[in-house]
Structure 1
Amino acid sequence: MSAQIVVRKSKDRGHANHGWLDTHHTFSFASYFDYKFQAFGSLRVINEDIVQPTTGFGTHPHQEFEIFSYIISGELQHKDSMGNVEILKAGDVQFTSAGTGITHSEYNIHPTLPVHFLQIWVKPDNPKLKPRYQTMNFPKTSKTNNLVHIISPVDDQDNSTIGINADFHMYASLLESGHKVMHTVQGAEKPRRVYIHLTSTGGELKINENTTLRQGDGAFVTEVKQGDEILFESIGDKIAEFVVFDLA
């Protein structure tokens, strides 16, 4: 395998602190724009957000995106125009296929604790889809020293993953110091690409024994194909919590 790995340091991401919201943007978003970082295949948004207690995002519209939140810590209340009301906690992944259009709000209703989560947007393979909502929980015990499959294309989906309308897979892990996990690249379409994000909760992650990520860093992996393997090793003194996106 001749994988090409390019690291995006945490400090190089877009950043805004609005008081109630401390947010980092991997790709151009809102007032942050960098022509070199607008998308990676169908992956359009990775925002790492920390929302303070009793604040949040008011009701706003979305369409033509697959939108999902990966809760790292705290609690996030979701409400949408489809009638869904839910309080999401660590380990939950909340998925919305916005399709032809929805509105939703996301609030931290906890009186004292912030909520820390990743917000991810992916362009679907087809437009004008019917909106859809799904939440699944992937507990800490399942992700510890394991790479758990969280999202898969609807055509390949089973009841252990959330289905997405794209050639896209998501995995997550909580890797203790000294432990390793392996990812096998999915999808028959060539070429494939992989993005890895190490959350800002700490830890250090080595990729293929020659690339190191520190908290908040990401890595763009190209020149890979179905069946190639990517090795991850936690080398810091804290648990490395990270997600992996495998896409066309």
Structure 2
Amino acid sequence: MVAKIVLRPSEERGYANHGWLDTHHTFSFADYYDINYQSFGTLRVINEDIVQPNEGFGTHSHRGYEIFSYIISGELQHKDSMGNVEILKRGDVQFTSAGTGISHSEYNINKIHPVHFLQIWVSPDDKNLTPAYNTKTYPDCLKTNNLAHIISPASEQDSKTIGIHTDFHMFSSILQPENKVAHTVQKSSSGGDQARRLYVHLTSTGGQLKINDGTILKPGDGAFVTEVVSGDEVIFESIGEGAAEFVLFDLA
């Protein structure tokens, strides 16, 4: 099967600059609404956020979704109603199952440098989960010229991944120029070679990324990859002058 690839250009995403927060939205979020970009399967939110020093998101509530932050640079302090207090840095992935309801705050405690991170929401199969919190660290050495497996279905979770309560995988890579990685589309949790979908997001930190047929992503771009089944191979190649850091989602 030949994959269908549709570009999501960075400049076409939702955008807001609140002074303390510079944010881009891949899907409809807050004041940004586009009927064509509301979700992609269970993937509901990809926000690329830059929060200024001594600023942040005050205490607010969530329920239903599984919410995770991928830290690109800076320091993000997390506090929540479960008693968790943690300072997150580059390489950290902080994961919250909001379930029946939690409240939390996310704050840049650094007095000089902004914090840059991806905020991602996924809709689990059960929205009434018991709230839970988890953090794992994925240093650059695990991701350089490699696809690091970060999130997997809870039923398939191992010591290296964070478990999520739906058929969803997340990978991350930092590709040096002229390097490639191949991703094998995951098996569906229900078994068999069922149709799946991928979404790839290239962070705005630099580099360029080529997918399979020559579709090229520039910083901040994303791409929808459909018409693939488990076992298919998708190739990602760094073709810019700088390293290309990207996240890849593989979902039912």
Query: In which range does the TM-score fall when normalised by the shorter chain?
Result: over 0.9
What value does the CA root-mean-square deviation take over the aligned residues? 0.7
Match of 1:133, SS state, is strand
Which segment is superposed worse, 233-242 or 179-188? 179-188
Counterpart position of 1:5: 5
Please show how residues 14-163 of structure 1 align to structure 2 within 5 Å. Answer: 14-163=14-163
Deviation string for 1:187-225 (max 9, x for gaps)? 325220000000000100000141100000000011011
Q: What's the offset of the Cα at 1:101?
A: 0.3
Match of 1:11, SS state, is helix
Counterpart position of 1:204: 208
Looking at structure 2, the residues matched to 58 and 187 of structure 1 have their Cα atoms a distance apart, in angstroms, of 39
Looking at structure 2, the residues matched to 127 and 45 of structure 1 have their Cα atoms a distance apart, in angstroms, of 16
Which segment is superposed worse, 183-192 or 168-177? 183-192
What code does the residue aligned with 2:75 have?
A: E
Q: List structure 1 segments (4+ residues) > 6 angstroms apart after TM superposition.
A: none
Looking at structure 2, the residues matched to 82 and 3 of structure 1 have their Cα atoms a distance apart, in angstroms, of 42
What code does the residue aligned with 1:203 have?
A: G
Give yes or no for contact 2:63–2:127 (8 Å, CA) kept in 1.
Answer: no
Identity between Structure 1 and Structure 2 (%)? 69
Q: What's the offset of the Cα at 1:127?
A: 2.3
Looking at structure 1, the residues matched to 172 and 181 of structure 2 have their Cα atoms a distance apart, in angstroms, of 11
What code does the residue aligned with 1:13 have?
A: R
What code does the residue aligned with 2:226 have?
A: T
Match of 1:141, SS state, is helix
Counterpart position of 2:247: 243
Give yes or no for contact 2:70–2:94 (8 Å, CA) kept in 1.
Answer: yes
For 1:215, which of 212, 219, 240 is the aligned residue? 219
Deviation string for 1:155-174 (max 9, x for gaps)? 00001000001100000000
Give yes or no for contact 1:66–1:124 (8 Å, CA) kept in 2.
Answer: yes
Q: What's the offset of the Cα at 1:77?
A: 0.2
Match of 1:155, SS state, is helix
What are the ranges of 5 or more consecutive residues in structure 2 without an aligned counterpart?
Answer: none
Which segment is superposed worse, 40-49 or 120-129? 120-129
TM-score between both structures, scaled by the size of structure 2: 0.97
Deviation string for 1:73-127 (max 9, x for gaps)? 0000000000000000000000000000000000000000000000000000112
TM-score between both structures, scaled by the size of structure 1: 0.99
What code does the residue aligned with 2:140 have?
A: K
Give yes or no for contact 2:51–2:108 (8 Å, CA) kept in 1.
Answer: yes
Q: What's the offset of the Cα at 1:36?
A: 0.2
Counterpart position of 2:180: 180
Give yes or no for contact 1:167–1:187 (8 Å, CA) kept in 2.
Answer: no
